[in-house]
Amino acid sequence: MNAGSTAPQRLAEITAGVWVATSRRFATTSTVVLDGHGGALVVDPAWDPDELAAIPADLASLGVRCAVGLATHVHYDHVLWHPDLGEVPRYASPTTVRTVTDQRDAVLAPLVGDLPPELVAVAGRLVPLPAGPGPALLPWAGPEALLHPHDAHAPGHLAVELTDRGVLLAGDMLSDLELPMPADEDDDLETYRTGLEQLVPVVRRARLLVPGHGSPTDDPLARLDADRRYLDAVVSGRPVDDPRLGLPGMAELHAANVRRAARTGQEAAEGR
């Protein structure tokens, strides 16, 4: 931190050069990664107007400016921005950018009337990362950020692996507050389970994990094991013993997941 600078309002450093802020709303996380050259990567800034405004202020207190943005996926709470972060490249997967471009009004509809019009206007202004199968590197001047695409929580979802920091920014996966939440298009849990398994080697390499909603952890494998146990129980029809079931909104999500699993069983019985 530069001499004479003030302490960040919201950001807390979880490891060298990686800072996380947690919103009062749904414990939504925003992650800042310093590039070592006076710049920073800002991932999924959220949520309320004062919290969004605090992120550029916190960067200033650290003596850096935003150089690059990244949205892990298409959902409205992950494509937010603040004008004071500047006009910098704000990357997302090609699938995410295409959806926001083609369906902008629908994607951002939940923000209308909730955020000031000027913040709705800057939301979702994303540029696509180079297309291609498998992991890709984020084009920026900072520590290696390996992007892992999957379709579990949303088509074109990205997990961000900061390889030399041992940090996984998981987006809306592997949360201590949310049960597995499949994409709307996933009607039998198979896409979710496939996406989760794609992340297994990444989770095993990680020393720290930051979910899109919830608390960072130094035990990423415990989060993976919890989600695998939950999904295995739902798909097999066994009772689910998961403390997240008692959290707000999770009973409804669990009931939807049970319905999805029932479709899997029905398709198997019909030999599809």
Give pLDDT tens digits for 102-131: 999 999 999 999 999 999 999 999 999 987
Q: How many CB atoms lie within 10 A of CB 116?
A: 10
pLDDT at 186 over 60: yes
Percent over 90 (pLDDT), the chain: 91
- Please give the average per-residue pLDDT across 192-219, as a whole number: 98
Give pLDDT tens digits for 134-150: 789 999 999 999 999 99
Closest residue by Cα to residue 126 from 148, 95, 154 = 95
- Please give the average per-residue pLDDT across 54-58, as a whole number: 97
Which pTM was predicted? 0.94
Cα 41 to its chain centre, rounded Å, is 14
Q: Which residue has the tokens 């992007």?
A: 147
Contacts of 1 (CB under 8 A, 6+ apart): 7, 61, 62, 63
Helix axes 220-236, 190-198, angle to 10 degrees: 160
Averaged pLDDT score across all residues of the chain: 94
80 burial type by CB count under 10 A (0-12 exposed, 13-18 middle, 19+ buried): buried
pLDDT at 132 over 80: no
- Please give the average per-residue pLDDT across 59-71, as a whole number: 98
Question: What is the structure's pLDDT at 266?
Answer: 52
Closest residue by Cα to residue 231 from 185, 268, 196 = 196
Q: Is 264 helix (H, G, I), strand (E, B) or coil?
A: helix
Question: What is the structure's pLDDT at 3?
Answer: 40
Question: What is the structure's pLDDT at 17?
Answer: 97
pLDDT at 5 over 80: no
Alpha-carbon distance of 29 to 11, in angstroms, equals: 10
pLDDT at 270 over 50: no
pLDDT at 267 over 60: no
Question: What is the structure's pLDDT at 76?
Answer: 98
Question: What is the structure's pLDDT at 4?
Answer: 42
Alpha-carbon distance of 38 to 56, in angstroms, equals: 13
Question: What is the structure's pLDDT at 194?
Answer: 97
Phi, psi dihedral angles at 264 (to 5 degrees): -60, -45
Sheet holding 208-211, edge to edge: 136-137, 145-150, 157-162, 167-171, 208-211
Q: Give residue 269's pLDDT band: very low, low, confident or very high (50, 70, 90).
A: very low
- Please give the average per-residue pLDDT across 239-259, as a whole number: 97
